[in-house]
A and B are shown apart, each in its own frame.
Chain A
């Protein structure tokens, strides 16, 4: 709390009798006063690390990702015979992105570990990524022993304060007896309400000290309510008003995926006859080829989705936080619409827009109420026909007048060849948007991408985690040559853990998205975006013992993808694409979503 209290707590933790458990022990001498009553059994004592493993088992932790180090070595020692599988990454960023991909596909809460100092600071990007996209995980950040904390000891970093702003919650574990409660609370917080990463800073002596343990452990989360009671009357009002709207639209965000409410969304959209705009992370909540799916809205959204956002008279946002990449300039976003917003996180309501119907609750609960009883279709056939005419007039397009392989075409071919249960993972950049635009998503919750943080280097490790979560699925990892080189060292995991991930590397010898902005808005001044020398990606594949294929034409693309998809082996397929290919259409920064450029071939 205040400084005094902090120091007091620290001093208490360091004092010799700090290990005395609170509340659970019978007061000394009590049994002698009562005479005949037997002395209560003392609680069993565990080494902290062993207790930690026991609690992890109780919580059903099924998968660990990390790299050991001095501060976590006791924990790793206890893991040795635990039976909990551990994925040894080559860099902590790889470990945590892999955990992220695992969590998104499995729906479970993975555990991530990094040692003190650099081990934990290397986790930061991945923690922030999970935070932005509401991905559940529990992170153990090793720390130096409490006796030297704060002295700039070897491999010390203030990870607790560093991660305060990018975790759902974090703990500094300073007393061994708090360990079971803190771990249980962490899993509970990570997997409930708005999901997210929870970090535990774990000083080394917490895993080496002897700790008494009694069950059950009481959780002290009195103000935390992960299941808000939804305002049923307000949702019913939304239902009535939506049915009367002439130009209604639904925005479906990641909250629909997290709530497992895609089927309900589809049922409601169909019965109410309302078209659906997807956010990047909401792609797949309706199949891409569903007649009511308008695809993605926002900066690189479709013309018809963005015009739907601009011209609608009623907008129902389910589980999206109105990210600026979706809304564009706010004064032009749904300017004539009444806006309803369903979010599990109350702080999202009113954060960006002043909604007319702020609904604090779970997407599944909201949709269940919307579907309850008769659903009046909105009088929107004219509206749907108008959007359909835009779809015909302004289809997504790519250049055919250049002698290079067009990346969008590669995405189309891969999409056509892939099975329905394909898992699509991307890194961050141009290729990510091409996939969002041109891949046909058929099932919900099978698209893994770094949405909020936009972390380059996410793709390969996230695909590794996704494939670990679903061993039988076809996992496609679309990456660019820039982001791929940020976590390329994780390639070895494909061999080590027998993961037949297909990496589709789009090589345009540049940091493509920045290059595109420089071309369009900075007079083609390509400052530090062009790679003059690149590694030989085929020899790189060879070095890591996976199949490498280099592709320069559409015919080769189809042949190689067919070969890769029917082979149960990891592939690195390098597509040498048009170095000047851009992501279009585009809402220039600062514009409204209706002010797009590049809507048609020039």
Chain B
């Protein structure tokens, strides 16, 4: 089963190694992992998509992560409402006469061309992994030369607090 975790970790050298080493020792398979700065200075956020056997293993993963001194927060987003995005860049064979076809194909995906040459173009698309997969399937007949995907970044949707003072903000947030 796939599990999605959001971590806040100290931004120290070696912390990524520490986390991935933990997964390696315990035989957990990482599907994707992304790391970057977050809203706090000195703290990074990791989004990890894991493949685990069952819920008990997942419970172990959470506890083992939380036990690390450099791990500040562990949030399990698997069953929570969260927005998830992945960025994908694709280099596609696109002779000039095919360009308009290509363009009309990618437009519904809100993808765009970010590099244009005589023979090839680079398409940028952001979205759920399923959406990216779908676009890649459509691009394959053109000739896909290179693909790079970032892995998931995820944030939970706005929390529904019980606090009357923020009643208006309690409304379910909407993905746009």
Contact = CB atoms under 8 A, between A and B. Distances in A.
B44 interface: yes
B73 A6 contact: no
Contact of A346 (B17, B56, B67): B67
Contact of B60 (A10, A174, A351): A351
Contacts of B63: 346-347, 349-351
Contacts of A169: 68-70
Contact of A1 (B12, B66, B69): B12
Interface in A201-229: 220-224
Interface stretch (A68-76, A160-168, A585-593): A160-168
A172 interface: yes
B35 interface: yes
B13 A10 contact: yes
A345 interface: yes
A6 B67 contact: no
Given A1-B9, A164-B21, A347-B63, A189 B14 contact: no
B58 to A, nearest CB: 10
B11 A347 contact: no
Given A1-B44, A164-B21, A223-B69, A172 B59 contact: no
Contact of B69 (A5, A189, A350): A189
Contacts of A160: 14
Nearest to B8: A223
B7 to A, nearest CB: 11
B67 A2 contact: no
A161 B67 contact: no
Interface string B5-35: 0000111111111100110010000000001
A399 B44 CA distance: 63
A402 B148 CA distance: 73
A223 B13 CA distance: 18
Contacts of B56: 350, 354
Nearest to A345: B67
A453 interface: no
A364 B69 CA distance: 24
A9 interface: yes
Size category, A interface: 20 to 34
B82 to A, nearest CB: 21
B100 to A, nearest CB: 39
B72 interface: yes
Interface string A163-187: 0110011001010000000000000
Contact of A5 (B11, B18, B60): B11
A175 to B, nearest CB: 11
A346 B66 contact: yes
A224 B69 contact: yes
Nearest to B60: A351
A25 to B, nearest CB: 18
Given A165-B21, A165-B25, A222-B72, A1 B13 contact: yes
B71 interface: yes
Nearest to A174: B13
A501 B57 CA distance: 46
A5 B72 contact: no
Nearest to B46: A1
Contacts of B21: 161, 164-165
Interface in B52-108: 56, 59-60, 63-64, 66-73
Contacts of B17: 161, 164
Contacts of A349: 63
Nearest to B65: A347
Task: Give the interface centre of A1, A189, A224, A345 by most chain B CB atoms within 10 Å.
Answer: A1
A2 B36 contact: yes
B13 A6 contact: yes
Given A2-B35, A164-B21, A350-B59, A172 B69 contact: no
Contacts of B60: 347, 350-351
A223 B73 contact: yes
A444 B60 CA distance: 31
B160 to A, nearest CB: 25
Given A189-B69, A347-B67, A351-B60, A9 B13 contact: yes
17 contacts: A1-B15, A1-B16, A1-B44, A9-B12, A9-B13, A161-B14, A164-B17, A164-B18, A164-B21, A165-B22, A168-B69, A169-B68, A222-B72, A223-B66, A223-B69, A223-B72, A349-B63
Closest 8 CB pairs of A and B: A347-B63, A223-B72, A6-B13, A169-B69, A9-B13, A2-B35, A1-B44, A347-B67
Given A1-B13, A2-B36, A5-B44, 11 more contacts: A1-B35, A5-B13, A9-B13, A160-B14, A164-B21, A165-B25, A172-B14, A174-B13, A224-B69, A346-B67, A354-B56
